[in-house]
Amino acid sequence: MIKSSGQLPDRVNVTLNVGGDDLGLPFLTRSMLDLWVHALHGPNPFLIVGRADDEMRFIQIYRNAPADFTLEYRDGAGTDVMSTTVDAPGTVVSLIWGWIHDDRTRLNRLDGWEAR
């Protein structure tokens, strides 16, 4: 998924659910992700990004407070849902964008992971 320039693609094919609504968009950009993460509020402040090719692979967040997110991901059938907390929306965006591109480097550096 790396462009020949060495950069991540600007647009990726995923499934997207924001606040319980399947948006029906077949793609996501980092700018779109940034807007939705920063705007989460109300009775259902969560966002789920799924793999278009594997419904058992997803990453999701729930905004507990302005600087408190629960982050969870699952990498396929037969694997646990892993959960931790993150304290900044910009960090959440970077973690999700990395996961979309199969880069777990930043996720692996987080403390407090628990299997659910």
What are the tens digits of pLDDT across the range 6-62? 555 688 999 999 999 888 888 899 999 999 999 999 899 999 999 888 889 999 999
pTM over 0.85: yes
Structure tokens at 16: 């997207």
Structure tokens at 5: 């320039």
Distance CA 43, CA 31 (A): 24
Phi, psi of 74 (to 5 degrees): -140, 135
